[in-house]
Amino acid sequence: MSKSANVVLHKAAVTRPRRETLNGHRSVNLWFTGLSGSGKSTLAHAVEERLHLMGCRTYVFDGDNVRHGLCGDLDFSIAGRSENMRRIAEMVKLFVDGGVLSLTAFISPLQKDRQKVRDIIGAEFVIEVYCNCSLEICEQRDVKGLYKKARAGEIKNYTGISSPYEPPENPDIELDTGNTPLLDCVNRIVDELRRRGIILN
């Protein structure tokens, strides 16, 4: 995508490290990926709740919510999904610069798009969390009834049914969200944030 002409990037005096010092924690992005129904949003919000109670500055970007506004003009084609992720990555980059621990819950089915996310945000600021849940369990959950519609041909380009999902080859964190209790998943992520020195308490 072309850059805007005659626009110069302004360097602020208040930098990310200064914001991190004020917050008392580093800023990174937790990028949750997995099939619809794998527990991405549930887990992201549960992790945010834990971090918020610990005094961290956080924000969750949920796939459905973003589709209501910023990406409301995009379809669910491969091209539409790719542009959706590009926009999210650019926004998350700003939040990371703002010192915020951001959590993004998106199916993000293709490896090339997830790599683009890392390129935009900066690989050192992205922790990829793979919510590994079988299609069978995701369909059993199907809280929105979307798999049923996809199976009936009422929804086109539905990931896992009529559109591909490429599992991450080397995720930073892989969780069996089909069988592991939510609290255990939250603890695993918070422990990893501590291990990396992102949060100190």
Beta-ladder partners of 33: 130
Residues 154-184: tens digit of each pLDDT: 988 889 898 899 999 999 999 999 999 999 9
**Residue 64: pLDDT band by 50, 70, 90 thresholds?**
low
Instruction: Give the pLDDT confidence score for residue 115 in this predicted structure.
Output: 96
The answer to whether residue 8 is domain-embedded is no
Pairing of strands 58-62, 29-33: unpaired
> What is the DSSP-derived secondary structure letter of residue 124?
G
Mean pLDDT of the chain, nearest integer: 90
Instruction: Please give the residue that has the higher pLDDT: either 62 or 94.
Output: 94
Determine whether 73 is exposed, middle or buried from the number of CB atoms within 10 Å of its CB (0-12, 13-18, 19+): exposed
DSSP 166: -
Q: Is residue 10 part of a domain?
A: no
Answer yes or no: is pLDDT of 191 > 80: yes
Choose from 22-26, 29-33, 78-82 the range with maximum mean pLDDT: 29-33
Asked whether residue 61 is domain-assigned, the answer is yes
Confidence of residue 84 (pLDDT cuts 50, 70, 90): confident
Residue 73's pLDDT band, with cuts at 50, 70 and 90, is: low
Q: Confirm whether 142 is domain-assigned.
A: yes
Q: How far is CA 115 from CA 110, 111, 122, 123, 134, in A?
A: 9, 6, 10, 9, 23
pLDDT of residue 50: 98
User: How does residue 142 score in pLDDT terms, banded at 50, 70 and 90?
Assistant: confident
Give the whole-angstrom CA distance, residue 106 versus residue 171: 15
**pLDDT at residue 144, as a whole number:** 81
In the chain the first and final C-alpha atoms are separated, in Å, by 41
When pLDDT is averaged across residues 82-90 and rounded to a whole number, the result is 87
Supply the CATH number for residue 43's domain.
3.40.50.300
Active-site residue numbers? 108
- The answer to whether 175 and 47 are in contact (CB under 8 A) is no
How big is the CA angle at 40 (ends 39 and 45), to the nearest 5 degrees? 100
DSSP codes, 167-182: --SS-SEEE-TTTS-H
pLDDT at 6 over 70: no
How many distinct structural domains can be found in the chain?
1
The confidence score (pLDDT) of residue 114 equals 96
Residue 116 resides in a domain: yes
At which residue do the structure tokens 């997995």 appear?
A: 34
Whether 200 maps to a domain, the answer reads no
**pLDDT on residue 186:** 98
User: Which stretches of the chain are assigned E, i.e. beta strand?
Assistant: 29-33, 58-62, 101-105, 126-131, 173-175
Q: Look at residue 117 and tell me if it is in a domain.
A: yes
Nearest to 199 by CA among 23, 74, 79: 23
pTM for the model stands at 0.89
- 101 or 85, higher pLDDT: 101
Residue 47 has pLDDT above 90, yes or no: yes
Both tokens of 111, joined, read 């490896």
pLDDT exceeds 70 at position 67: no
Domain of 157?
18-193
Which has more pLDDT, 144 or 38? 38
Strand partners, 131: 175
